[in-house]
Amino acid sequence: MSGPPFIDAALAGPVRGVATSRLGGVSEPPFDSLNLGDAGGDDPAAVAANRGRLAAALPAAPRWLRQVHGTGVIHLDQWRPGIEADAAWTDRPGQVVAILTADCLPVLLADRDGRCVAAAHAGWRGLAAGVLEATVAALPVPPGELQAWIGPRIGAAAYEVDAPVRDAFPDDSHAFAPTRPGHWRADLSAIAIRRLRAIGVAEARDVGRCTAAEPERFFSHRRDGRSGRQATLAWIEG
């Protein structure tokens, strides 16, 4: 596949999942260079050019969502420009589901037989509210037939949170390590994997790449404040 460099999700079956890095685009600092987000203040022409470069390397142009840290899930047949949702799925070969992140968890779900794929955006609010459970429930296959992959995200070593965040996850004390009074380091990926397994998705993997720890490769809102966005995408080959 030509175009920007990808991190391959190595999903089983006739499905493909990838994540982009910040490399391979045209945006100027602090959005250098493959910024795919259109809401952070980057030059719209640069974002359009970056999205064009990405689309040229995919089976079809991604259908971008207006992500709101909620639990909304759509089938791509429902898509329209500006639609608010934090997850999308398709059962049609060649359609590309996509979400944007710059620390939040990007989670891909795929049926091993290639009947459906989904992409979900799971920041702490969406994770606590149940965006992963909602996405799995929307798919037309049993949870046990799904595989999940978590792409580049902020790691626990770089993600300190306060009591309201910790209190949002009463069943996940294992994912919080105390730092200073009233603060903890939070492992969102560990929370996501526990939640996925609790609803029957036994095969859940994390790529193990921290956005905040690799400034030369990934955008990170927590690290930089003003930041671009990378994408995580999936499709059924066909």
**pLDDT tens across 45-55, in order?**
999 999 999 99
Instruction: Report domain extents, the chain.
Output: 6-236
CATH class, range 6-236: alpha beta
The 3-class secondary structure across 73-135, one letter per residue, is: EEEHHHCCCCCECCEEEECCCCCCEEEEECCCEEEEEEECCCCCEEEEEECHHHHHHCHHHHH
pLDDT band at 21 (very low <50, low <70, confident <90, very high): very high
Q: Is the pLDDT of residue 2 over 60?
A: no
| Three-state secondary-structure class, residue 51 | helix
Mean pLDDT of all residues in 96-102: 98
How many other β-carbons are positioned within 10 Å of the β-carbon of residue 211? 30
57-89 confidence digits (pLDDT tens): 999 999 999 999 999 999 999 999 999 999 999
Q: Rounded to an integer, what distance in angstroms lies between the CA atom of residue 192 and that of residue 210?
A: 15
What is the predicted pLDDT for the residue at 1?
45
Rg (alpha carbons) of the chain, rounded to whole number: 17
The closest of 202, 200, 201, 220 to 210, measured between CA atoms, is 220
Q: Give me the chain's average pLDDT, please.
A: 97
Cα of first residue to Cα of last residue in the chain, in angstroms, is: 15
Mean pLDDT of all residues in 102-117: 97
pLDDT band at 10 (very low <50, low <70, confident <90, very high): very high
| Three-state secondary-structure class, residue 33 | coil
Phi, psi of 156 (to 5 degrees): -60, -35
Q: Is the pLDDT of residue 3 over 60?
A: yes
157-192 confidence digits (pLDDT tens): 999 999 999 999 999 999 999 999 999 999 999 999
List the beta bridge partners of residue 16: 235
Please tell me what DSSP assigns to residue 63: B
pTM: 0.96
What is the predicted pLDDT for the residue at 238?
82
Q: Is the pLDDT of residue 205 over 60?
A: yes
